[in-house]
């Protein structure tokens, strides 16, 4: 359309600004390079955020597992404290009170197929046998509880 050697005409007042095809291509190329650099920086930022997200998820799982473990440990300790309190209470129960309680229980829920567990006071001289007596008492109570559960079923 235009001859090859033609130079753009200088601007005159009131005339629109005109660019040559090479200038337009250069501007498009510059804008493309700018957009490509912006895309690259956004891509790097997105990758960085993705890796931070993965790291945060890993920390979340780690803290969740620690919290779960602490919760389990806390319940174990509570249970241990309850067991210790129950053992302390059992140590304070006298044989007469225990026989009385078992007699009341037998009256409420008679066990026709199981004989009552006789408990006799231990001699005062057998102080070291406390653990053995306590074990026998806990075994007898466990057997009695199993029998009560069987009757209820």
CA distances from 126 to 62, 117, 118, 133 (A): 54, 21, 19, 10
CA angle 130, 78, 144 (to 5 degrees): 45
Provide CB contacts within 8 A for 126, sequence distance 6+: 133
What's the pLDDT at 66?
96
Q: Is the pLDDT of residue 138 over 70?
A: no
CA dist 107 and 19 (Å) reads 112
Q: What's the pTM value of the predicted model, to 2 decimals? A: 0.40
Token pair of 8 as six digits: 């753009």
Per-domain residue ranges of the chain: 19-106
- Between 32 and 133, the more confident residue is 32
Residue 139 CA: distances (Å) to CA of 130, 133, 135: 14, 10, 6
**What angle separates helix 130-152 from helix 95-108, to the nearest 10 degrees?**
10
Q: How far apart are alpha carbons 53 and 134 in whole angstroms?
A: 57
Position with higher pLDDT, 143 vs 97: 97
Give residue 102's Cα distance to chain centre.
43
Mean pLDDT in residue range 21-50: 97
* Predicted confidence (pLDDT) per residue in 3-31, tens digit: 455 445 555 555 556 779 999 999 999 99
pLDDT at 126: 46
- Per-residue pLDDT tens digits for 72-94: 999 999 999 999 999 998 888 88
pLDDT in tens, 92-132: 888 888 888 888 888 877 555 555 555 555 555 444 444 55
Structure-model confidence comparison of residues 67 and 140, the more confident one: 67
What's residue 105's pLDDT? 83
Confidence of residue 1 (pLDDT cuts 50, 70, 90): very low
Report the chain's terminal Cα–Cα distance, integer Å: 106
Output 133 or 44, whichever has higher pLDDT: 44
Between 148 and 74, residue with greater pLDDT:
74
């Amino acid at each position: 359309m235009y001859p090859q050697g033609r130079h753009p005409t200088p601007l005159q007042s009131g005339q629109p600004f005109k660019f040559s095809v090479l200038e337009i291509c250069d501007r498009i190329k510059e804008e493309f390079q700018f957009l490509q650099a912006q895309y690259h920086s956004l891509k790097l930022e997105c990758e960085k955020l993705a890796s931070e997200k993965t790291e945060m998820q890993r920390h979340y799982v780690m803290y969740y597992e620690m919290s779960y473990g602490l919760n389990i440990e806390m319940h174990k300790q509570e249970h241990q404290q309850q067991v210790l309190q129950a053992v302390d209470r059992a140590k304070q129960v006298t044989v007469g009170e225990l026989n009385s309680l078992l007699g009341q229980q037998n009256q409420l829920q008679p066990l026709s197929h199981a004989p009552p567990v006789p408990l006799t006071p231990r001699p005062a001289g057998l102080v070291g046998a406390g653990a053995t007596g306590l074990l026998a008492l806990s075994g007898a109570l466990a057997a009695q509880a199993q029998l009560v559960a069987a009757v209820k079923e």
